[in-house]
C-alpha cells in the first residue's frame, strides 16, 4: 500500500487524498455485477436473520403443520386456511418458503462459524510458522500439504463417518478441511511482509514481540486472508449442503438447505420438483452471491492489479 504512494506524483497525491476505506468501496463499486452480488447477499442475510418474524409459519412447530396440505404444488391454497403456499409444501405439509428461510439460517451459520474458526486456527498456525520458522514451520506446512493432497469432501466424509452426526461435528469436519488454506495464505503473506522495512523499523525500536506480530505483521497479512475467507464461506456452505444431502451432515432436527433438498429428492421422480428445487435455488443464489463478492474483493485487494 505504501509503495503506491511512492509511485505517484506528490501533487496528484495531495489532491486525491482518500481514506483507504473510501478507495476500497469506490473500487468495489466499479463492478455492477459485484454490487448486485453484494445486494443479493445482504438480502439473503436479512431474510435468514428475520426468518422467525417473516416466515408464514414456524416449519418445526408440529402444531402448525397440516398433513392434509402435504405435497401441494407452488401456489395451491391450504385446505384449512385457504392461504396459498407460494413455493408449495413438502411431504409433511410444511410450507417450503418457511422451511427455506429457516434452512438458510442454519446453512449460513454453520458456514460462517466454521470459516471463522478455521480462519482463527489457520491464522495462528500460519503466523507462528512464518515468524518462528524452524521445525514448527516444517511440521505445520507438511501437515497442510498432506491435508491438501486429499479432496476436502473425502476428508470430511471420513471424519463424519467416525464422529457421527451433529452441528458441532460438521463444524469440526469443515474446520479440518479449511484451516490449511488460511495457514498457507497467512504464512506466505507473512514471509513477504517480514522482509519489509517497516518490520525492520519495528524490530529496531525494540518493540515487544507480541506487539510486532499483532500490530505490525498481522494487519498487513489480512487482505489476502479476507479474499480466501470469502471464497471459503461459499465452499463451506456447499460442502455442508453436500454432506447433509448424503445424510452425513446435520441431524434431521437441524434442517439445513442440504437436508431439505435430500428430503425432496425421493419425490423428484414423481414430478414433485418443488420440494428439492427451491431449496436448491436458495443454496445456489447464496453461493453465487458470495462468489461474485469474492471475485471483486480479489481484484480490489490485489495490489498487482491496482491502477
Partner 1 sequence: MLAFTLRRFGQSLLVLVLMSLLVFLGVYAIGNPIDLLVNPQADDFERARATAALGLDQPLAKQYLTFLTHAASGDLGRSFVYNIPAIDLILQRLPATMELALVATFLAVALGIPLGLVAGLKPHSFIGRGIMAGSILGFSLPTFWVGLVLIMVFSVQLGWLPPNGRGETTLLFGVPVSFLTRDGLAHLAMPAVNLALFKLSLMIRLTRAGTREAMLQDYVKFARAKGLSSRRVIGVHVLKNILVPIVTVIGLELGSVIAFAIVTESIFAWPGTGKLLIDSINQLDRPVIVAYLMVIVAIFVAINFVVDVLYSLLDPRVRLGGAAAHA
Give the residues lining the site for partner 1 (CB under 8 A): 145-146, 149-151, 153-154, 157-158, 160-162, 234, 238, 241-242, 245-248, 261, 265, 268-269, 271, 273, 276-277, 280, 283-284, 287-288, 291, 295
182 versus 245: smaller Cβ distance to partner 1: 245
Residue 164 CB, nearest approach to partner 1 (Å): 10
* Cα angle: 163, vertex 100, 274; to 5 degrees: 110
CB of 219 to partner 1, least distance (A): 30
CB nearer partner 1, residue 49 or residue 112: 112
CA-closest candidate to residue 196, choices 226, 216, 222, 225: 216
Q: Give the shortest CB-154-to-partner 1 separation in angstroms.
A: 4
Please tell me the distance from the alpha carbon of residue 69 to that of residue 64, in angstroms, as a whole number.
Answer: 11
Q: Which three cell numbers stand for residue 60?
A: 418445526
The least distance separating partner 1 from the CB of residue 280, rounded to whole angstroms, comes to: 5
Nearer Cβ to partner 1 (3/149): 149
User: How near is the Cβ of 303 to partner 1 at its closest, in Å?
Assistant: 20
Beta bridge partners, 93, equal: none
**Listed residue (158, 170, 173) closest to 250, CA to CA:** 170
Alpha carbon dihedral 107, 275, 163, 120, in 10-degree steps, equals -10
Cα 174 versus chain centre, distance? 11
Q: Which is nearer to partner 1, 172 or 218 (CB)?
A: 172
Nearer to partner 1, 160 or 202 (CB): 160
Output the nine-digit C-alpha cell for 248. Answer: 452425513
What's the closest the beta carbon of residue 35 comes to partner 1, in angstroms? 17
Q: Under a CB-based contact definition with an 8 Å cutoff, are residues 236 and 114 in contact?
A: yes
Helices and strands per DSSP (H, E), number in the chain: 14, 0
Q: Which residues pair with 95 in a beta bridge?
A: 89
**Residue among 217 and 255 whose Cβ is closer to partner 1:** 255
In degrees rounded to 5, what are phi and psi of residue 95?
-65, 120
Amino acid at each position: 500500500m505504501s509503495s503506491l504512494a511512492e509511485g505517484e506524483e506528490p501533487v496528484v497525491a495531495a489532491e486525491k487524498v482518500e481514506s483507504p476505506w473510501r478507495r476500497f468501496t469506490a473500487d468495489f463499486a466499479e463492478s455492477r455485477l459485484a454490487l448486485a452480488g453484494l445486494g443479493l447477499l445482504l438480502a439473503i442475510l436479512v431474510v435468514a436473520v428475520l426468518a422467525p418474524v417473516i416466515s408464514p409459519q414456524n416449519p418445526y412447530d408440529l402444531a402448525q403443520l397440516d398433513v392434509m396440505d402435504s405435497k401441494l404444488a407452488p401456489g395451491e391454497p391450504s385446505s384449512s386456511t385457504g392461504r396459498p403456499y407460494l413455493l408449495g409444501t413438502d411431504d409433511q405439509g410444511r410450507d417450503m418458503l418457511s422451511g427455506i428461510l429457516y434452512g438458510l439460517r442454519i446453512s449460513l451459520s454453520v458456514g460462517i462459524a466454521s470459516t471463522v474458526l478455521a480462519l482463527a486456527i489457520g491464522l495462528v498456525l500460519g503466523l507462528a510458522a512464518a515468524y518462528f520458522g524452524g521445525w514448527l514451520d516444517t511440521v505445520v506446512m507438511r501437515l497442510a500439504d498432506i491435508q491438501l493432497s486429499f479432496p476436502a469432501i473425502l476428508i470430511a466424509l471420513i471424519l463424519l463417518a467416525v464422529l457421527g452426526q451433529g452441528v458441532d461435528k460438521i463444524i469440526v469436519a469443515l474446520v479440518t478441511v479449511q484451516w490449511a488454506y488460511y495457514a498457507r495464505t497467512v504464512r506466505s503473506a507473512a514471509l513477504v511482509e517480514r522482509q519489509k522495512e517497516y518490520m525492520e523499523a519495528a524490530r529496531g525500536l525494540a518493540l515487544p514481540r507480541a506487539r510486532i506480530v499483532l500490530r505490525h505483521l498481522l494487519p498487513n497479512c489480512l487482505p489476502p486472508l479476507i479474499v480466501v475467507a470469502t471464497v471459503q464461506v461459499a465452499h463451506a456452505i456447499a460442502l455442508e449442503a453436500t454432506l447433509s444431502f448424503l445424510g452425513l451432515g446435520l441431524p434431521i432436527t437441524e434442517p439445513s438447505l442440504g437436508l431439505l433438498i435430500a428430503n425432496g429428492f425421493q419425490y423428484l421422480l414423481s414430478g414433485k420438483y418443488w420440494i428439492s428445487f427451491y431449496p436448491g435455488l436458495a443454496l445456489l443464489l447464496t453461493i453465487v452471491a458470495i462468489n461474485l463478492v469474492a471475485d471483486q474483493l480479489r481484484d480490489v485487494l490485489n495490489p498487482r492489479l491496482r491502477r
